[in-house]
Amino acid sequence: MKKLEALLTLQKSKRDIFSLNDLKKLLRIENNNTAYVQANRLTSDGILGRITKGIYCLKDTRPGDFETANFLYKPSYISLESALAYYGILIQTPLTITSVTPKRAKKIHAGNREFTYSHLDQKYYSGYIREQGFIIATPEKALIDTIFFAGYGRTVIHPEEWVLTGIDKKRLKKLSEKIESRIFRNYFKSLNIC
């Protein structure tokens, strides 16, 4: 497939990120090796940018970190420090992009970014929305996830630094009641934020 034809096909897909399998399907390539060669050629020609091994984007439309995080490890949604910072609850912007997943915990380095995925039981994997091309916890769910992990010593929190003016306290309390963990409930209650 010619360079221009490949570019137009990829642009027409309205996607920002592509796996090698996506490129195979979109460019109608039958064999993995050919897809790999084509991806390398398109990268050399300046059409594709390489995000990490086997993951590419159109060079002129680099996806945001949150969209990239969702794509690198599925299913997952942005939560914890990244979501808290996004909503202005946490003043500092974390260097790592944090997500939760019902799969195993994982860390991925892509370019100059680190993406971490914390395991969250499937029964608590909810409370997220699609926003501007990525999936993120609601402000209240991001707080619940953060408090949940802090209760088990998997993260450190500083509630005195949180800005909770935009939080729906009733929704927060309702979400907290869905967590079936005495450790979480005691810790949540001790924070006295509702």
Among 164, 154, 156, which Cα is nearest to 84's?
164
What is the share, in percent, of the chain residues with pLDDT greater than 90?
A: 85
141: helix, strand or coil: helix
In the prediction, which pLDDT does 157 show?
92
Can you list the residues of the chain whose pLDDT is less than 70?
1
Q: How far is CA 36 from the centre of its chain?
A: 26
Provide the residue ranges of all domains of the chain, joining segments of one domain with +: 3-58, 65-191
Cis status, amide bond into 75, omega within 30 of 0: yes
The size of the chain, in residues, is 194
- Please report the DSSP string for 55-124 in residue order: EEEETTSPPPHHHHHHHHSSS-EE-HHHHHHHTTSSSSPPSSEEEEESS--EEEEETTEEEEEEE--GGG
In the prediction, which pLDDT does 132 show?
87
Mind listing the pLDDT tens digit for each residue in 61-111? 889 999 999 999 999 999 999 999 999 999 888 999 999 999 999 999 998
- Return the CATH number of 3-58, one of 1.10.540.10, 1.10.10.10, 1.10.3210.10, 3.40.50.2300: 1.10.10.10
Angle at 48 between CA 44 and CA 50, to 5 degrees: 90
d(CA 16, CA 56): 8
